[in-house]
Amino acid sequence: MKTNKTKTDYDVMVVGAGVAGMETASSLGNMGYKVLLVDKKPSIGGRAILLSKVFPTLDCASCIVTPKMAASAHHPNIDVKIYTEVDGITRNADGSFSVDLHQKSAYVDIDACTGCGTCEEVCTVTVPDEYNYNLVTRRVAHIPFPQAVPKKAVIDRRGEAPCIHTCPASVKASGYISLVRAGRYKEAFNLHLENAPLVGCLARSCYAPCEEDCTRCGKEETVHIRGIKRFFSDHYYDEHPEPEYGPVENQLATKVAIVGSGPAGLSAAFYLARKGHQVTIFEAEIQPGGMLRTGIPAYRLPNEVVDRDIKNVTALGVQIKCNTRVESAAKLKEEGFDAVFVATGASDENRLGVEGEELEGVMGCMKFLRETKIGIAPNIRGKTVMVVGGGNSAMDPARSAIRMGAQRVIICYRRSQDEMPAHDWEIQGAIEEGVELMLLTTPKRFIGNNGKLEGVECLKMKLGEPDASGRRRPVIVEGSETVIPIDLAILAIGLKPSTTGFVDEMDHERGLLTSDPETLQTRDPAIFAGGDCVTNPTMIVNAIGQGRRAAFYIDRHLKGESLDVEFESLLEKTDKDVVLEESKNFRSRPPVLQPTMPLEERRRTFECYERVMSEEEARKEAHRCMNCGECSQCMECVNNCPAFCIDFNLRDAAKSFTVGSVVMSTGFEILDPGSKKALNYANFPDVVDGAQMDRLLAPTRPYNSVLRPSDGKEPENIAFVLCNGSRDHTICNPLCCRIGCMYAVKQAQLAMGALPLADVTIYYIDVRAFGKGYDEFYEQSKAMGVAFTKGKVARIEKLDNGNMEVYYEDMEGVGGMKKAEHDLVVLTVGFLPNTDAFRLYKGGELAGNEFNYVREIDPISEPGRTSVDGLFAAGAIIGARDIPDTVLHAGAAASQVSAYLETTRN
């Protein structure tokens, strides 16, 4: 190793690990310099490793490039950092450079990954395969290509799917959707359990905030996420009336008490029992389930579903003690519990505070719903019912009253319909079923006879100025009193926390218990509180999220671990505009209509009115998902990886180094042949470009043979068309690509080898065979029978038989426009500069040439030197070139680097 006089982290950083980068790095490494070799892709090797064979020797590209890949990867003086982006390079006064990088997360423990490819096989999301130039697909969990170095898996994630990001319990909606799309229903159910154990309840009565944020809303309408969940949860429960598991093997001695068996309590119990703690739930009601059992009407959530969901929890050994009201967490601690989670919910009813509220026939909505669900509600057949309130909790009793045979059901709300807090679909459902809305109306008093309600005196309201909530304040219209005969009035005017007793020993704000919003721990470290008794009434899924969070921190508390850790780390939400833009030309996919019970039937029964989708409908609906996050988080890779190396908590890592010098070897870009419209590359699958043809000819080709992409037929008559977008002033690219002629000759020879009966024609302007052995190579192809037609191809059209007609200007013979039929057309396309170097060098101006390639200051005597002293360029970054020229140039650049390092250090 050379002495590192300036004490930099590395003597040189080489950016881009294609042929040029690997060659420069290896040469410098061999000279004893310490090299940092960086590439943004997940494998080194650049473009050359994807080639079939190389001209003019027809050596296999792998045989040429793989040894270089191995030499760089295993060189003691070279540190390879793949999947790493350079963020900036600046030059220091002493001639060294400061570089900022970030290593992108592959979500895989690179050291543990064995490259077995299992993750790829089980992955449920498919995308175009850029390593096969989009001729086939690959999975988002993937090993880039068979010869990749390192041969490690990478998972594409561009953000958190909006449906997951919005869900208060972070349920992996896009994950279970992609599992349903792939026909893996049991896996979908098990994935759901990881975030929320009450799958059936959520499938029927979650307010589904995910659907409101679904990217598909920007096209037709949301993916019906809850409907898909309903399908797989019903499917699973039909096949599994009992859970498939029992208590975990590793039982701990720690005892946890949970007060309340609503969604928060049940969910905390589930995740704590999974960790092995001994969990007891105390429930005041006669049956467990909290609001799920007593608050949500059966037409939205039948008790059998609640029971089956609860089995998911009790199967783990959780004890539920019903009929046991608890009002002190401290007492539970005294009884020997090591931790307590208070999850008593918010089901105590607010009062309206008007005359007559105590009359028989005036009741709170929770009482009414509870009595309805357990079958002891007052008989209201043929009666008139008024529900006071405009929230979702008003819709449930109103729609229940319709089902109970009430003759007239009125919702009385003091603002207008626009201000009603209930979901639109709930309001519409109620109206459809016959509920009347009496808007801008409020009860003044309840009128009774012999202690029994007979009517409600109401006042008209009008809307005034907006209040603190932004909604317009209702103002009484004086003298507008009217009396409406009513048999039953149900007050749905809000709920308050059920925290009697606890407020005497715990911090609270007007009855709402106070706990740390992150850890849910209260002032007493062993007591935690969460769910509606802390948040006020929200949603089932919110309470479930709180329960899982509480379990996470209670477990840590019981194990004596710090609570100063993040509960779960989500990526940023995916930018929906990006997803919508990439799919803007996709076919429309109208939603599968949610099957529902006919209206008349619905009005008469408490049976669920939403019917479950069929398997075909569920898969069709799942197919509408746009894979917003790329990886859907179905967790199939995590669950199947034999080396347990996939970790979605891994994150990008920023790194900064000082280096003695920098070599940019970021190669070139390939021009999009679609820009030459008349050639119809974008329209005809059998018009391919040179890079795709190299893949078709490579031993690791995407198909089983050399086949045409339109229908998998072996081509019989192949055309190679040279100089498309090179030497072309119409698209401002006057440069010769320098390799098109020779690789077309190479591909023509390989095609003749693979398809001995095929005719091959090369359309050329002139053939440039300038290197050692190139002319002989060209002559050899003629001798093999390749036809050379001197003619500029103007356009390509498609014939009814599926073949292409190539129109060309005849440049020899009689001239004029001619045409010829072919069944596969290969376009050799021009190259473009990779301009990354100009962006990455932030220390001043890095000079480019007139074609925007990095400019060599003196290409003849100092190859590789750029306008920035100490920053060099190697390979095709200074102009497209073939592999021999690239290797030569890289060697020259390495010598220049060495000279620079020796000068700056002496």
Ligand X SMILES: Cc1cc2nc3c(=O)[nH]c(=O)nc-3n(C[C@H](O)[C@H](O)[C@H](O)COP(=O)(O)OP(=O)(O)OC[C@H]3O[C@@H](n4cnc5c(N)ncnc54)[C@H](O)[C@@H]3O)c2cc1C
Q: Give the interface with ligand SF4 as residue ranges (CB under 6 A).
A: 122-125, 140-141, 155, 161-163, 173-174, 177-178, 214-216, 223, 225, 625-626, 628, 631-637
Minimum Å gap between C-beta 187 and another protein is 13
- Biggest alpha carbon–alpha carbon distance for the chain: 115
Which structure tokens are listed for 891?
Answer: 């060697």
**Using CB under 8 A, which of 627, 724, 747, 761 touches another protein?**
627
The 571-590 contact track toward another protein, x by CB under 8 A, reads -----------xx-xxx---
Contact of residue 799 among ligand SF4, another protein, ligand X, none (CB under 5-8 Å per partner type):
another protein
- DSSP secondary structure code for residue 407 in this structure: S
CB 446 within 8 A of CB 412: no
Minimum Å gap between C-beta 707 and another protein is 8
Quote the CA–CA distance of 637 and 646 in Å, as a whole number. 7
Task: Identify which of residues 52 and 261 has a Cβ nearer to another protein in the complex.
Answer: 52
Contact of residue 739 among ligand X, ligand SF4, another protein, none (CB under 5-8 Å per partner type):
ligand X
Give the dihedral of Cα atoms 519, 520, 521, 526; nearest 10 deg.
-110
Q: Is 183 in the site for another protein (CB under 8 A)?
A: yes
Task: Identify which of residues 80 and 634 has a Cβ nearer to ligand SF4 in the complex.
Answer: 634
Task: Identify which of residues 293 and 695 has a Cβ nearer to another protein in the complex.
Answer: 695
Q: Which stretch binds another protein (CB under 8 A): 555-563, 619-627, 690-698, 828-836?
A: 619-627
Give the dihedral of Cα atoms 212, 216, 217, 218; nearest 10 deg.
140
Task: Identify which of residues 120 and 348 has a Cβ nearer to another protein in the complex.
Answer: 120
Contact of residue 214 among ligand SF4, ligand X, another protein, none (CB under 5-8 Å per partner type):
ligand SF4
Minimum Å gap between C-beta 220 and another protein is 15
Burial class (CB in 10 A: 0-12, 13-18, 19+), 807: middle
Interface with another protein in residues 76-135 (CB under 8 A): 120-121, 124, 126-128, 134-135
Contact of residue 633 among ligand X, ligand SF4, another protein, none (CB under 5-8 Å per partner type):
ligand SF4
Minimum Å gap between C-beta 622 and another protein is 8
Contact of residue 490 among ligand X, another protein, ligand SF4, none (CB under 5-8 Å per partner type):
none
Contact of residue 769 among ligand SF4, ligand X, another protein, none (CB under 5-8 Å per partner type):
none
Q: Tell me which residue has tokens 């096989």.
A: 121
Task: Identify which of residues 11 and 636 has a Cβ nearer to ligand SF4 in the complex.
Answer: 636
Task: Identify which of residues 126 and 835 has a Cβ nearer to another protein in the complex.
Answer: 126
Angle at 199 between CA 211 and CA 175, to 5 degrees: 55
Minimum Å gap between C-beta 157 and ligand X is 19
Give Cα separations from 592 to 225, 612, 617 (angstroms).
Answer: 11, 12, 6
Q: Could you write out the DSSP letters of every residue in 734-763?
A: -S--SSHHHHHHHHHHHHHHH-TT-EEEEE
Q: Is 709 in the site for another protein (CB under 8 A)?
A: yes
The 766-785 contact track toward another protein, x by CB under 8 A, reads --------------------
Minimum Å gap between C-beta 838 and ligand X is 11
HEC string for 186-243: HHHHHHHHCCCCCHHHHHHHCCCHHHHHCHHHHCCCCCCHHHHHHHHHHHHHHHCCCC
- DSSP secondary structure code for residue 812 in this structure: S
Q: Could you write out the DSSP letters of every residue in 504-536?
A: GTS-EETTEE---TTT-B-SSTTEEE-THHHH-
Quote the CA–CA distance of 403 and 61 in Å, as a whole number. 74
Quote the CA–CA distance of 199 and 211 in Å, as a whole number. 17
Quote the CA–CA distance of 544 and 311 in Å, as a whole number. 16
Minimum Å gap between C-beta 710 and ligand X is 20
Please list, residue by residue across 693-716, b when 16 or more beta carbons sit within 10 angstroms of its beta carbon and e when fewer do: bbbbbbeebbeeebbbbbeeeebe
Task: Identify which of residues 363 and 637 has a Cβ nearer to ligand SF4 in the complex.
Answer: 637
Minimum Å gap between C-beta 1 and ligand X is 25
Task: Identify which of residues 685 and 699 has a Cβ nearer to another protein in the complex.
Answer: 685
Quote the CA–CA distance of 451 and 419 in Å, as a whole number. 34
Minimum Å gap between C-beta 32 and ligand X is 23
Q: Which stretch binds another protein (CB under 8 A): 157-165, 388-396, 398-406, 791-799?
A: 791-799
Closest alpha carbon to 634 in 316, 113, 138, 157? 157
CB 413 within 8 A of CB 431: no
Which structure tokens are listed for 54?
Answer: 């190389």
Closest alpha carbon to 61 in 71, 47, 72? 47
Task: Identify which of residues 19 and 439 has a Cβ nearer to ligand X in the complex.
Answer: 19
Contact of residue 18 among ligand X, ligand SF4, another protein, none (CB under 5-8 Å per partner type):
ligand X
Q: Is 753 in the site for another protein (CB under 8 A)?
A: no
Please count the residues of this chain forming the interface with another protein, following the rule CB under 8 A: 48
CB 332 within 8 A of CB 326: yes
Minimum Å gap between C-beta 38 and ligand X is 5
Q: Which stretch binds another protein (CB under 8 A): 151-159, 282-290, 417-425, 618-626?
A: 618-626
Interface with another protein in residues 710-729 (CB under 8 A): 710-716
**Using CB under 8 A, which of 27, 178, 287, 733 touches another protein?**
178
Q: How far is CA 18 from the centre of its chain?
A: 30
Partner residues linked to 448 by β-bridges: 453
Contact of residue 520 among another protein, ligand SF4, ligand X, none (CB under 5-8 Å per partner type):
none
Q: Which stretch binds another protein (CB under 8 A): 73-81, 250-258, 676-684, 831-839?
A: 676-684
Quote the CA–CA distance of 197 and 723 in Å, as a whole number. 62
CB 868 within 8 A of CB 878: no
Contact of residue 155 among ligand X, ligand SF4, another protein, none (CB under 5-8 Å per partner type):
ligand SF4
**Using CB under 8 A, which of 214, 292, 626, 760 touches another protein?**
626
Q: Which amino acid is at 16?
A: G
CB 560 within 8 A of CB 149: no
What's the start-to-end Cα distance of the chain, in Å?
16
Closest alpha carbon to 516 in 545, 541, 543, 553? 553
Minimum Å gap between C-beta 636 and ligand SF4 is 4
Please state the φ and ψ torsions of residue 28, each to the nearest 5 degrees.
-70, -40
Minimum Å gap between C-beta 209 and ligand SF4 is 11
Minimum Å gap between C-beta 139 and another protein is 8
- DSSP secondary structure code for residue 496 in this structure: E
Quote the CA–CA distance of 765 and 763 in Å, as a whole number. 7
Applying CB under 6 A, the residues found at the interface with ligand X are 15-21, 38-41, 46-48, 51, 54-55, 86, 665-668, 670, 690-691, 694, 739, 743, 746, 834, 836, 875-876, 881-884, 886
Task: Identify which of residues 350 and 683 has a Cβ nearer to another protein in the complex.
Answer: 683
Contact of residue 120 among ligand SF4, ligand X, another protein, none (CB under 5-8 Å per partner type):
another protein
Contact of residue 800 among another protein, ligand SF4, ligand X, none (CB under 5-8 Å per partner type):
another protein
Note the residues at the interface with another protein (CB under 8 A). Answer: 120-121, 124, 126-128, 134-138, 178, 181-183, 582-583, 585-587, 619-620, 623, 626-627, 680, 682-685, 702-705, 707, 709-716, 797-800, 805
